[in-house]
Copies of this chain bind each other. A is one copy, B any other.
Amino acid sequence: MTSLQNLELAVDEACCAPSGQAVLSAEDAQRKALVFKALADPNRLRLLSIVKGAGGGEACVCDLTEPLDLGQPTVSHHLKILVDAGLLHREKRGTWAYYSLVPGAIEQTAGLLASL
């Protein structure tokens, strides 16, 4: 991570410019692309799907490793990308880390498409 240190909640930031009919600026395109990059991996899409359908709307890493058939470090890595993109929320309780959908983030991302 070089110049893009702390770009959490990319979903929020990706819709700051007035938007509308003008051509997407390079900067706005960059921000929006970050969100879609997070969605551009089959395993990450499945992670979102599993978390969405999980009981209580949250799941811990141990629940996610097996269905994806991936190692724990890899799952942890994907989850971090989804958190950085503003799509997932992470809450640590005791030894476990619980991940849940950020409310409205999916809809907001869909909105990014409409405001192209």
Chain A interface, >50% SS class: helix
Q: Restricting to A74-116, which residues have a CB under 8 Å from any CB of B?
A: 106-107, 109-111, 113-114, 116
Count A interface residues, CB 8 Å.
33
A116 to B40, CA, bound (A): 13
Q: Restricting to A35-82, which residues have a CB under 8 Å from any CB of B?
A: 36-37, 39-46, 48-50, 52-53, 67
Q: Point out residues on A near B: beta carbons under 8 Å.
A: 21-24, 26, 29-30, 32-33, 36-37, 39-46, 48-50, 52-53, 67, 106-107, 109-111, 113-114, 116
9 contacts between A and B (CB under 8 A): A23-B53, A29-B43, A29-B46, A30-B42, A36-B36, A39-B113, A40-B40, A107-B114, A110-B110
